[in-house]
Amino acid sequence: MNNAWQSLISNSWIELAARWILGLTFIYASSHKILSPADFAKIVYGYNLFPVVLINLIAIVLPFMELIAGFALISGIYPRSAAIITCGLLVAFIVALSVNLIRGHEFHCGCFSAGEGGHTEIPEITIVRDIIYFILGLQIILFSGIRRMSIKRLSA
């Protein structure tokens, strides 16, 4: 089992796929939020977890963190650091979704769109999806080999 786990963690193709999946997901997730910060602020407010004075700041800063981390993962610029940031964001998302699920609070998560649009995601599925993304992030963090298609590697 340990040998299989080690070969999985050290496979550079799996690490590359994980970087691209996570990077593209975070870039896509950030795009709607960047284009509609007011709509995203309403969604953040709907979580009922943050002080009102921080809502706009969160709605403006969070999408740019997602965008920068996503580009860093795809380009291979400090991918471990970018994966740590994305995993931290994913933990925060999982906690926020879980708290509201326990409360029985229905809301639009704002994951891939900033507007309501009559679209409500099932929180349980969103949490499972975020856990899968978290596992992909862990693969990037734990990888210790030579990274494929990495700017750092290309410049060396």
In this structure, is residue 3 part of a structural domain?
no
Collect all residues with Cβ–Cβ distance below 8 Å to 111 and sequence separation of at least 6: 29, 93, 121, 126
In this structure, is residue 156 part of a structural domain?
no
Phi, psi of 150, deg, nearest 5: -115, 135
In this structure, is residue 94 part of a structural domain?
yes
The SS3 of residue 137 is helix
Q: What pLDDT does 118 receive?
A: 46
Asked if 9 contacts 142 with a C-beta cutoff of 8 angstroms, the reply is yes
Q: d(Cα 134, Cα 2) in Å, to the nearest integer?
A: 21
Of residues 64 and 101, the one with the higher pLDDT is 64
Residue 155 has pLDDT above 60, yes or no: no
Q: What pLDDT does 123 receive?
A: 82
76-124, pLDDT tens digit by residue? Answer: 999 999 999 999 999 999 999 999 889 888 777 888 776 555 455 788 8
Number of domains in the chain: 1
In this structure, is residue 4 part of a structural domain?
no
| pLDDT > 70: percent of the chain | 91
Structural domain boundaries enclosing 32:
11-151
In this structure, is residue 35 part of a structural domain?
yes
Q: d(Cα 17, Cα 50) in Å, to the nearest integer?
A: 34
4-61, pLDDT tens digit by residue? Answer: 767 777 788 899 999 999 999 999 999 999 999 999 999 999 889 999 999 999 999 9
